[in-house]
């Protein structure tokens, strides 16, 4: 009872708004886009990344796009992504491919302090791969150490260009290994890839910081790459400041990508011009 009361008292969003979202979600009121914008969906952070990937792919005339989840656990994230994709393929002329990377054996042994060994142990989040596969409709599981599976992913899978990545590998070392995917070349990615990092917030036991974990992996990637950068998506921070996940959405930028400078803002320009006309 006490913990429930604390959650209610610490809720930044008014209870009436929370209740309204629950009702909209439960009864599928309004369009999917409206539900997504009001966060009346499960895992809105997944939905927003997938939505933006589909929208960018459409504006750049990509007929197919891939989404990836690193660290799948019980498979709930992939299942959720599938529900969003079903809605998005009704809105955009884009088809999604969905891939999930996991060891299948849970977390490997932490390598050093950068993997937060005070918080994670080897074997945490072990997957029953057969059971997860039985629940999935379109997502493809890729089982093995990400250091090995990332290097041969595009050659083996012939995957569509990646537009969206969800990172939930917990460790600095595993996250850094997953970033090796970006070495595959321009053709395997949209010029901007929407990314969610699950492990850059935490509690007072975990004590996430920029000198370990995902934040350190991001910092080192940016240090080591001149024309490829992983940057905070400031639009999300502004639009969804009441949600913790608003700070967990990043964007991978490939400034040398052949399509990076292609103009894609016709809709925004028209909206801005209409506002000026109405003044």
> Each residue of 147-169: pLDDT tens digit?
999 999 999 999 999 999 999 99
Whole-number percent of the chain with pLDDT over 90: 78
Q: Give me the mean pLDDT over the 169-179 stretch.
A: 97
CA within 13 Å, CB half, 215: 13
Q: Which residue has the tokens 């995917």?
A: 181
Asked whether the predicted pLDDT for residue 51 surpasses 60, the reply is yes
Per-residue CA distances from 142 to 3, 44, 95, 101 (Å): 38, 24, 20, 5
Res. 89: pLDDT tops 70: yes
Class of domain 38-278: alpha beta
Does the pTM exceed 0.85?
yes
Is the pLDDT assigned to residue 217 strictly greater than 90?
A: yes
Q: Pick 37 or 176 by higher pLDDT.
A: 176
| pLDDT tens column, 18-28 | 555 555 655 45
Instruction: Calculate mean pLDDT across residues 250-259.
Output: 98
What are the residue boundaries of the structural domains of the chain, listed by start? 1-30, 38-278
Question: Of 82-86, 124-128, 266-270, where does mean pLDDT reach its minimum?
Answer: 266-270
Rounded to whole angstroms, the Cα distance separating 51 from 33 reads 9
Q: Return the pLDDT at 265.
A: 95
Q: What is the pLDDT of residue 275?
A: 72
pLDDT in tens, 96-113: 999 999 999 999 999 999
Q: What is the structure's pLDDT at 10? A: 46
Distant-in-sequence, close-in-space partners of 54: CB < 8 Å, separation ≥ 6: 65, 88, 91, 92, 94, 96, 163
């Amino acid at each position: 009872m006490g913990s429930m009361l604390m959650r209610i008292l610490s809720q930044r969003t008014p209870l009436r708004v929370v209740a309204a979202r629950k009702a909209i979600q439960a009864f599928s009121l309004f369009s999917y886009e409206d539900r997504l914008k009001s966060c009346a969906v499960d895992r809105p952070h997944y939905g927003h990344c997938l939505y933006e990937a589909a929208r960018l792919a459409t504006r750049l005339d990509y007929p197919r796009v891939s989404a990836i989840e690193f660290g799948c656990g019980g498979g709930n994230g992939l299942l959720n992504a599938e529900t969003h994709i079903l809605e998005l393929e009704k809105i955009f002329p884009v088809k999604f491919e969905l891939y999930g990377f996991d060891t299948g054996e849970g977390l490997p042994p932490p390598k050093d302090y950068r993997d937060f060994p005070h918080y994670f142990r080897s074997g945490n989040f072990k997957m029953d791969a057969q059971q997860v596969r039985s629940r999935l409709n379109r997502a493809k599981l890729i089982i093995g150490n990400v250091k090995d599976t990332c290097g041969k992913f595009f050659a083996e899978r012939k995957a569509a260009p990646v537009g969206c990545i969800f990172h939930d590998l917990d460790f600095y070392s595993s996250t850094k290994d997953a970033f090796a995917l970006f070495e595959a070349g321009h053709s395997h990615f949209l010029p901007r890839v929407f990314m969610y990092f699950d492990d850059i917030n935490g509690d007072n036991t975990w004590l996430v910081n920029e000198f370990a974990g995902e934040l350190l992996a991001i910092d080192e990637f940016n240090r080591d790459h001149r024309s490829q950068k992983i940057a905070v998506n400031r639009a999300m921070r502004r639009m969804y400041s009441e949600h913790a996940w608003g700070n967990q959405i990043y964007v991978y930028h490939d400034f040398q990508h052949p399509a990076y400078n292609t103009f894609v803002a016709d809709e925004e320009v028209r909206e801005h011009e209409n506002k000026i006309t109405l003044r």
